[in-house]
């Protein structure tokens, strides 16, 4: 029987690459995000290119009711979710904490922590009932070490790290695996979002080094999922070759 993976934030970057790869590997997909046209386009492309079936759910993870309604709306054939990839997330702004934009903080906290919790709260009971499943939480090197001006974004990813550990503790006796994938710099729409559409600033983040590509993380997620049933990868940190940790990056010519 084909497995079902629900991927949040599949309209761009890591989520989109993961959706495409898991479809190739034999999963049916529930893809979510706020941008409906992108969801529809991705569904069409994946269904044309692979045997996968794709169900789209448009919602904002910050909106608790919308999350609940969307997941309650799943037809019966889509309810037995085998894999949850908690990927939707973002950084907004990069400034010292005493100069930070409080609206930006709220957006990060509401998306990266509360949104992840709302989705998990709806999906986990089914996994517990069926005594199988795998949750992959996308945290970050920013959830392992704090870097200058990263403050609240880092705090949200430290929270994801803590929730990942909590989930593993509380699901281990229910046959559900839990893994965190912690990437360093990945060139996606992430920096464009962080710098509120400033393409020049976004480009500078990756100057003089080769960042990871979304596909690199999709392949790590596939590696995690394709281990034998008795094996659980607890967490995995993956950076570009030029990145030593969350804040030390070697740039050519600098
Ligand atoms: P992108 O900006 O390319 O993709 C982010 C995805 O999250 C989009 O699909 C977006 O969909 C979705 N999303 C954001 N906010 C919401 C929301 N409120 N409700 C629903 N969906 C939302 O970034 P990445 O692919 O790089 O980021 C994916 C994850 O990886 C994030 O959790 C990020 O923190 C993490 N990460 C990224 C790294 C990087 O360097 N790129 C490194 C480490 C971790 P839409 O806008 O359509 O709603
Ligand atoms: C995203 C990577 O280093 O920009 O989590 O925070 S970083």
pLDDT digits (tens, 9 = 90+) for 5-63: 999 999 999 999 999 999 999 999 999 999 999 999 999 999 999 999 999 999 999 99
Residue 32 · residue 57 · CB < 8 Å: yes
Instruction: Give the active site residue among 153, 206, 247, 248.
Output: 153
Instruction: Judge whether 74 and 122 are in contact, CB under 8 Å.
Output: no
Average pLDDT over residues 194-198: 98
Question: Pairing mode, if any, of strands 235-238 and 83-86?
Answer: unpaired
Going by the DSSP 8-state scheme, the letter that residue 114 receives in this structure is I
Mutate to test the pocket of ligand 1, among 109, 190, 194, 203 (most ligand atoms within 8 A of CB): 190
Q: How confident is residue 213, by pLDDT bands cut at 50, 70 and 90? A: very high
Q: Residue 111's pLDDT band (boundaries 50, 70, 90)?
A: very high
Fold of the domain built from segment(s) 4-238: Rossmann fold (3.40.50)
Question: Would the pTM count as exceeding 0.85?
Answer: yes
122: tokens are 């709806």
Residue of 213, 179, 188, 222 whose CA lies nearest to 24? 222
Ligand nearest to the CA of 13: 1
Q: Identify the CA nearest to 46 among candidates 23, 77, 17.
A: 23
**Rounded distance between C-alpha atoms, residue 198 and residue 143, angstroms:** 25
Our mutation pick for probing the ligand 1 site, out of 89, 106, 116, 215, counting the most ligand atoms within 8 A of Cβ, is 89
- Ligand 2 pocket: which of 92, 95, 137, 142 to mutate (most atoms <8 Å of CB)? 142
> What pLDDT does 124 receive?
98
Round to whole Å and give the CA distance between 58 and 37: 10
The ligand placed nearest to the CA atom of residue 248 is 2
Residue 1 confidence (pLDDT) above 90: no
- Whole-number Cα distances in Å, 82 to 18, 27, 34, 70, 237: 15, 9, 23, 18, 23
Question: What confidence category does residue 185 fall into, taking pLDDT thresholds of 50, 70 and 90?
Answer: very high
Q: From the CA of 184, how far away is ligand 2's center (Å)?
A: 6
What's the pLDDT score for residue 59? 98
Q: What is the pLDDT of residue 145?
A: 98
Q: Is 80 exceeded by the pLDDT of residue 254?
A: no
Query: What is the structure's pLDDT at 116?
Result: 99
Which residue in this structure is represented by tokens 């929730």?
A: 163
* Confidence category of residue 253, pLDDT binned at 50, 70, 90: confident
| Mean pLDDT of all residues belonging to the chain | 98
How far does residue 56's CA lie from ligand 2's centre (Å)?
27
CA 96, CA 2: separation in Å to the nearest integer?
Answer: 47
Across 89-104, b (16+ Cβ under 10 Å) vs e yields: bbbbbbeeeeebeeeb
Beta-strand pair 235-238/212-213:
unpaired
Average pLDDT of the residues in 183-203: 98
> Does pLDDT of 201 surpass 90?
yes
Rounded to the nearest angstrom, the distance between the alpha carbon of 157 and the centre of ligand 2 is 9
State yes or no: pLDDT of 168 exceeds 90: yes
Residue ID of nearest Cα to ligand 2 atom 4: 185
Given a cut of 90, is residue 208 above it in pLDDT? Answer: yes
Q: Which residues line ligand 2 (CB under 6 A)?
A: 140-142, 150, 184-185, 246
Specify whether 153 is catalytic: yes
| DSSP H stretches of helix in the chain | 13-24, 36-49, 64-72, 102-108, 116-130, 151-171, 190-194, 199-204, 214-225
Q: How many other CB atoms are there within 10 angstroms of residue 72's CB atom?
A: 9
For ligand 1, is residue 35 a contact (CB within 6 Å)? yes
């Amino acid at each position: 029987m084909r497995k079902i993976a629900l991927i949040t934030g599949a309209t761009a970057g890591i989520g989109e690459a993961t959706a495409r790869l898991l479809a190739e590997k034999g999963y049916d997909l529930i893809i979510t995000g706020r941008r409906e046209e992108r969801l529809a386009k991705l569904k069409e492309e994946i269904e044309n290119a692979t045997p996968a079936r794709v169900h789209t759910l448009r919602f904002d993870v910050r909106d608790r009711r919308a999350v609940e309604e969307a997941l309650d709306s799943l037809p019966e054939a889509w309810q037995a979710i085998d894999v949850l990839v908690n990927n939707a997330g973002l950084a907004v702004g990069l400034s010292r904490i005493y100069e930070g934009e409080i609206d930006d903080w709220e957006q990060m906290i509401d998306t990266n922590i509360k949104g992840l919790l709302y989705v998990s709260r709806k999906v986990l009971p089914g996994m517990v009932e069926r005594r199988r499943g795998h949750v992959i939480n996308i945290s970050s090197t920013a959830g392992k070490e704090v870097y200058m001006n990263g403050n609240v974004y880092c705090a949200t990813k430290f929270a994801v790290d803590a929730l990942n550990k909590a989930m593993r503790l509380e699901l281990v006796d229910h046959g559900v695996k839990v893994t965190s994938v912690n990437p360093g710099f990945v060139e996606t729409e992430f920096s464009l979002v962080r710098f509120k559409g400033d393409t020049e600033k976004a480009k500078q983040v990756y100057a003089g080094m080769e960042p990871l590509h979304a596909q690199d993380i999709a392949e790590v997620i596939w590696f995690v999922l394709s281990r034998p049933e008795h094996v659980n990868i607890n967490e995995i940190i993956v950076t570009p070759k030029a990145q030593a940790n969350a804040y030390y990056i070697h740039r050519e010519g600098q």
